Amino acid sequence: MPVESGSSAAARQAKQKRKSHSLSIRRTNSTEQERSGLQRDMLEGQDSKLPLSLRSNLLDLFSQIEREFENLYIENLELRREIETLNDRLTADGQTFEGADLAKGALKTKASHSTSQLSQKLKTTYKASTSKIVSSFKATTSRAVCQLVKEYVGHRDGIWDLSVTRIQPVVLGTASADHSAMLWSIETGKCLLKYMGHQGSVNSIKFHPTEQMALTASGDQTAHIWRYMVQLPTPQPVADISQTPCEDDVDFSDKDEADGEVEGPNDCPSIRMATTTLRSHQGVVIAADWLVGGKQVVTASWDRAANLYDVETSELVHSLTGHDQELTHCCTHPTQRLVVTSSRDTTFRLWDFRDPSIHSVNVFQGHTDTVTSAVFTVGDNVVSGSDDRTVKVWDLKNMRSPIATIRTDSAVNRISVSANQKIIALPHDNRQVRLFDMSGVRLARLPRSNRQGHRRMVCCSAWCEDNTSCNLFTCGFDRQAIGWNINIPALLQEK
């Protein structure tokens, strides 16, 4: 009876494997359309805020990605089978020429060469396929560039809040726990004026929309309105700072620098008397803001109330009560008589003063921990941040549920939204600052290392829409404010 040789048996086995594998590929391709139709039916049945056309495009993109990786997987299996077949063949041939040393040497050389060729083919196939996928991603998602431009150093304690003037000259204002507020030249980083009228920590600063006046809130249970006059210094040539892409793999350091005393600005003029003092709170005044037009202001306090004052007479117009715990922030709408207050009771409230005869209030319970801030956008949205590590975007026309939710890894402090680009800047307890769009898509993270960025909790962020070298400012408990230049490519903002 004839005996089948080892090489022919191995060839027949490899042929059967390839035949079986080709059948499985045909089965996969035949069910691809059915699977796509089933996914589309499931997609239409899901409850989502995204338009159906956008969801369909996303499904097509992910289907293409899935097919690319499926092809890679199939090619990988095929190459592995070819390697196994070659090994079986070499083993059989090695048994045949076992008696000849010379044949062994030739066989080893041939095996080594063949295996090397297959290995190279495998690497080339993977590299080409994955490069094609990565290139397709790069074509649609350009990198955001975040550049640290200027550091504003001079406070002797942590900085709680900062703001930028809305009129010329454009200056930066900071509010600090060292009982002072400072005005800074954005371009030079020089202190222009220091306000020292408070007897407690200065917790917030906001500028009048049309006049050179500032509003500060303090731990001394008062809010002060004071006038300022500053002259901007001649800008000095800015040192060349290489642009830093906003990446996740920046060198981080948990080592904090020594808490040495920071020398204050040397020749900085100061003001010690307020034009107007607003008194009526029974606790720390944590925040204050101007209503549209600048004739009234609102203050938020740890006494669980927000007060509405007339600027000219200093009289209390309304006391806004209803929060169950201390207030943490207040903000006014840029064009309408609307106020939003935040509280440790996990809620924020929307107060409507558009009708002078009556004001309404709406309570929103979308968070599970302290609401650290809630701010208006230029449109009809409210963005709220919380210690529950989330930020939520709400529509004023329908605020029953958020239209977007951003989940982070750290508590969120006083957020801000860019009026022009509609980008949300999130300052965190963990010293990071992240940027998101209004739909909740992450755009960038500001670079932070042991050489640049904040070394303590980041308390607040503020955008500057004027044509200055910095368009985003952040401050923290490391006693400094930082000016950033943020360049977000249009591709990242288009949705």
pLDDT in tens, 209-232: 999 999 999 999 999 999 999 988
| Amino acid 68: pLDDT | 86
Average model confidence (pLDDT) across the chain: 81
Q: Which pLDDT score, from 0 to 100, does residue 23 have?
A: 44
260 lies in some domain: no
| 100 is a domain residue | no
In a domain, 97, yes or no: no
Q: Are 366 and 423 in contact, with CB atoms under 8 Å apart?
A: no
Give 393-411 pLDDT, tens digit per residue. Answer: 999 888 888 999 999 999 9
CB-based contact 274:226 (threshold 8 Å): yes
Q: Is the dihedral of CA 396, 399, 403, 409 positive or negative?
A: positive
Asked whether the predicted pLDDT for residue 242 surpasses 80, the reply is no
CATH number for 440 = 2.130.10.10
Q: Looking at the predicted structure, is the pLDDT value of residue 439 above 60?
A: yes
pLDDT tens-place string over residues 79-107: 888 888 888 877 776 544 444 444 444 44
Bond prior to 169 in cis (omega within 30° of 0):
yes
Q: How far apart are CA 374 and CA 413, in angstroms?
A: 10
Going by C-alpha positions, the residue among 175, 167, 219 that lies closest to residue 194 is 175
Q: How many residues does the chain have?
A: 495
Query: Is residue 385 left, alpha or beta, with left meaning phi > 0 and alpha meaning psi from -120 to 50?
Result: beta
User: DSSP per residue over 411-453, as a string?
Assistant: -B-B-EE-TTT-EEEEEBTTS-EEEEETTS-EEEE----SSSS
Given a cut of 70, whether residue 135 has pLDDT beyond it is no
Tell me the CA distances in angstroms from 475 to 128, 274, 426, 479, one per residue in order.
Answer: 46, 25, 12, 8
The residue segments making up the domain with residue 328 are 145-229+268-492
167 within some domain: yes
Q: Percent of the chain at pLDDT above 90?
A: 53
Mean pLDDT of 160-177: 95
The pLDDT assigned to 387 comes to 97
Is 442 among the domain residues?
yes
Question: Is a pLDDT exceeding 70 seen at residue 14?
Answer: no
Q: What is the pLDDT of residue 1?
A: 45
**Is the residue at 122 inside a domain?**
no
pLDDT tens per residue across span 311-365? 999 999 999 999 999 999 999 999 999 999 999 999 999 999 988 777 788 999 8
Average pLDDT over residues 35-52: 65
Domain presence at residue 71: no
Instruction: At 63, list the tokens.
Output: 């289907």
Q: Is the pLDDT of residue 116 over 70?
A: no
Number of folded domains that form the chain:
1
What token pair was written down for 271? Answer: 């003001």
Residue 171 lies in a domain: yes
Taking each helix axis from N to C end, the angle separating 52-96 and 101-140, rounded to the nearest 10 degrees, works out to 170
